[in-house]
Amino acid sequence: MRILVTGGAGLIGSHLVDKLMEKEKSEVIVADNYFTGSKDNLKKWIGHPRFELIRHDISRPLFVEVDQIYHLACPASPIFYKYNSVKTIKTNVMGTLNMLGLAKRLRARILFTSTSEVYGDSLEHPQKETYWGNVNPIGVRSCYDEGKRMAETLMFDYHRQYGIEIRIARIFNTYGPRMNIDDGRVVSNFIAQAIRNEPLTVQLPGTQTRSFCYVLDLVDGLTQLMEGTDTGPINLGNPGEFTMNELAKAVQELINPEVQISEVENTPDDPRQRKPDITKAKEVLGWEPKVNLHEGIPLMEDDFRQRLGVPRT
């Protein structure tokens, strides 16, 4: 089995590669342009005979011979996906078209990592896969959420028109070791700030909620989805829901009780509530997350302390 992982140098991709490489007969090819990922995340595999790393931008065609495609490549942090929004659209739309073209030529099964952001500023709570979403098509987040929605459309059209075997995961906020320290997402921001003893920046109003999934749980869900029979979309996430005020308090308690919490301006169109309904994942895949936020934060703290060079006192 030869498997392509696009975006394999990023947070989720690199942990997925670790899991795929555990199987002795698997060969793994990673294609990544290192926009938000890093070779460091894959350093234990570089030089391994079953592993290959290609610097490649997936908005351009890629010619490789593989049996399965995990298509993850796309910046995930709002700061990075807004930085060059046109590029984010190209990555989502042209990148997914290129990967579907590859899947079509090879008759390979392809899994796409979509997002809870397809539900937008949801009017249903928690979010089920049947909900069509409440998305601003012209806002600053649209390059990402509408880009992912278009990519889901492409996946289903290739499935209906050409019989391509597709899998779609709708991933909810996922965190864990190897996250870029300056990634800009809330968990990495708060952990880095707590370690550096800088105020935790809660964006107003602070009552907005998210549900945080530990990366290794998420990776198990992805491989189970790929190996199962359901096309999806299937929500993958941890239903434990926290306000940003609660998250800041948890990080303060677990990492640095002295650290200040400061309120800062928010960005436009920030979804107010987000929590996955994972009934389908439980029924279809037998999957549910195991690591809760209070267990996951210290695991990420260890990794951040090591990279920041600040040991526990």
Ligand X SMILES: O=c1ccn([C@@H]2O[C@H](COP(=O)(O)OP(=O)(O)O[C@H]3OC[C@@H](O)[C@H](O)[C@H]3O)[C@@H](O)[C@H]2O)c(=O)[nH]1
Ligand Y SMILES: NC(=O)c1ccc[n+]([C@@H]2O[C@H](COP(=O)([O-])OP(=O)(O)OC[C@H]3O[C@@H](n4cnc5c(N)ncnc54)[C@H](O)[C@@H]3O)[C@@H](O)[C@H]2O)c1
Residues within the interface to ligand Y (CB under 6 A): 6-7, 9-13, 32-37, 57-59, 72-76, 91, 95, 113, 115, 171, 173-174
Q: Are strands 68-71 and 109-115 parallel, antiparallel or unpaired?
A: parallel
Q: Which of 36, 91, 189, 273 binds ligand X (CB under 6 A)?
A: 189
Does the annotation mark 214 as catalytic? no
Residue with tokens 């107003």: 204
What dihedral do alpha carbons 208, 211, 214, 218 form, nearest 10°?
Answer: -130
User: Should residue 116 be labelled a site residue for ligand X when binding is judged by CB under 6 A?
Assistant: yes
Closest separation in Å from C-beta 280 to ligand X: 18
Q: Tell me whether residue 5 or residue 259 sits nearer to ligand Y (CB atom).
A: 5
**113: alpha, beta or left, given left = phi > 0 and alpha = psi -120 to 50?**
beta
Closest separation in Å from C-beta 199 to ligand X: 10
Q: Which of 33, 41, 127, 208 binds ligand X (CB under 6 A)?
A: 208
Residue 13 interacts, among ligand Y, ligand X, none and using kind-specific CB cut-offs from 5 to 8 Å, with ligand Y
User: Should residue 89 be labelled a site residue for ligand X when binding is judged by CB under 6 A?
Assistant: no
Three-state DSSP class for 152?
A: helix
Closest separation in Å from C-beta 116 to ligand X: 5
Closest separation in Å from C-beta 49 to ligand Y: 23
Catalytic residue among 70, 144, 158, 175: 144
Residue with tokens 């009552």: 207
Stretch 22-41 residues interacting with ligand X (CB under 6 A): none
Q: Which of 38, 136, 203, 231 binds ligand X (CB under 6 A)?
A: 203
3-state secondary structure 64-118: CCCCEEEECCCCCCHHHHHHCHHHHHHHHHHHHHHHHHHHHHHCCEEEEEEEHHH
Q: Which of 266, 269, 288, 303 binds ligand X (CB under 6 A)?
A: 266
Residue 96 interacts, among ligand Y, ligand X, none and using kind-specific CB cut-offs from 5 to 8 Å, with none
The first and second tokens of residue 149, run together, are 């929605």
Closest separation in Å from C-beta 49 to ligand X: 33
Q: Tell me whether residue 216 or residue 259 sits nearer to ligand Y (CB atom).
A: 216
Closest separation in Å from C-beta 93 to ligand Y: 11
Q: Tell me whether residue 6 or residue 208 sits nearer to ligand X (CB atom).
A: 208
User: Should residue 201 be labelled a site residue for ligand X when binding is judged by CB under 6 A?
Assistant: yes
Residue 122 interacts, among ligand X, ligand Y, none and using kind-specific CB cut-offs from 5 to 8 Å, with none
**299: alpha, beta or left, given left = phi > 0 and alpha = psi -120 to 50?**
alpha
Helices (H), the chain: 11-22, 78-83, 85-106, 142-162, 186-196, 215-227, 244-255, 279-280, 293-308
Which residue from 200, 191, 198 is spatially nearest to 293, judged by alpha carbons?
191
The first and second tokens of residue 80, run together, are 């990075």
What dihedral do alpha carbons 57, 145, 167, 226 form, nearest 10°?
Answer: 70
DSSP character for 148? H
What are the residues binding ligand X (CB under 6 A)? 76-78, 115-117, 173, 185-186, 189, 201-203, 208, 210, 244, 266, 270
Q: Could you list the active site residues?
A: 144
